[in-house]
Amino acid sequence: MTNAQQDQAPRRQLVAGNWKMHGNAALLRNIISNLLDKEDLPEQVDVLLLPPFPYLSLAAELIGDQRLLLGAQNLSEHEQGAYTGEVSADMLSETGCGYVLVGHSERRELYAESDALVAEKFVIAQRAGLRPILCMGETAEQHERELTEVIIARQLQAVIDRAGIGAFATAVLAYEPVWAIGTGKSASPEQAQQVHAFIRQTIADVDARIAGQIQILYGGSVKPDNAADLFVQTDIDGGLIGGAALHADQFMEICNAG
């Protein structure tokens, strides 16, 4: 048990489905009706949907006042202005989002988002009342070179420096080893727990209270058959799910594993 875990109320679990650029309105309707039909979602689990931008309004409408959460996969680092094609934090907030991903490895890799840009997006999200989910993780090469903690510490510190540790009271963290995303090769529960404990301890070194309450999700090939073993780990508070979130039945099973 880390220092951060002593004398803390139990953290709720959060299971988030990141569709990336997949799916359509029919899939959204199917997934939401599946989730809303079932009355057996565990009480301690919150379910967050992260569909592509064009489906956010429909998702908000379908969710209504039910207990599902809604978020976006990305946002602009600017508050407003002549940024063709971009979407602002206020727009997301007005559309019904409560959460937004920042620093997903696909944004870092494919769109060259730097630690500084990710930190900017984190700040802008919070300014609009959104909870950023800060994604962090090492590549396969960094993993092989045993640089996991170095990389995570760097990605985390950039945001602590820009936003201040207090900002983490209304944020979520996600450990997503890049080598496990979409590869079918998940980190083992022990491997993931070790990195999650490191992340929590890094926060605890600055603020033990925030470290004890912050949710740290695991993402990277979470499936119905490995979700429960991952989610039961002390420092794993749910998952960020890609591929399996596109299948209503699999996503439901993963939510039930929380």
103 binds ligand PEP (CB under 6 A): no
159 binds ligand PEP (CB under 6 A): no
Q: Which member of 221, 236, 238, 255 binds ligand PEP (CB under 6 A)? A: 221
**Catalytic member of 77, 106, 113, 176:** 176
CB of 100 to ligand PEP, least distance (A): 14
Q: What is the CA radius of gyration of the chain?
A: 17
* Strand ranges (E), 127-237: 131-136, 172-175, 216-219
Sites for ligand PEP among residues 165-194 (CB under 6 A): 176, 181-182
Q: For residue 138, what is the enclosing H or E element?
A: none
Tokens linked to 181: 């995303």
CB of 205 to ligand PEP, least distance (A): 27
CA angle 88, 73, 256 (to 5 degrees): 140
* Strand ranges (E), 21-159: 45-50, 68-72, 99-102, 131-136
CB-side neighbour CA atoms (13 Å) of 60: 16
Can you tell me the distance from the alpha carbon of 233 to that of 239, in angstroms, rounded to the nearest whole number?
Answer: 12
Q: Which residue has its beta carbon closest to ligand PEP?
A: 242
CB of 212 to ligand PEP, least distance (A): 25
CA angle 253, 257, 258 (to 5 degrees): 125
- Residue closer to ligand PEP by CB (options 122, 207) is 122
250 binds ligand PEP (CB under 6 A): no
Q: Which residues contact 134 (CB under 8 A, 6 or more apart)?
A: 102, 103, 118, 122, 155, 156, 159, 171, 172, 173, 174
How many residues in the shown chain lie near ligand PEP by CB under 6 A? 14
Q: For residue 27, what is the enclosing H or E element?
A: helix 25-37
Q: Which member of 49, 134, 222, 236 binds ligand PEP (CB under 6 A)? A: 222
Can you tell me the distance from the alpha carbon of 189 to that of 81, in angstroms, rounded to the nearest whole number?
Answer: 44
- Residue closer to ligand PEP by CB (options 50, 204) is 50
- Residue closer to ligand PEP by CB (options 212, 219) is 219
Catalytic site includes residue 22: no
Q: Which member of 47, 133, 173, 241 binds ligand PEP (CB under 6 A)? A: 241
Q: Which member of 32, 240, 254, 257 binds ligand PEP (CB under 6 A)? A: 240
- Residue closer to ligand PEP by CB (options 104, 200) is 104
Task: Select the span of 36-44, 145-153, 207-215, 240-248 touching ligand PEP (CB under 6 A).
Answer: 240-248
- Residues that bind ligand PEP in the complex, under the rule CB under 6 A: 18, 20, 176, 181-182, 219-222, 240-244
The catalytic site residues sit at 104, 176
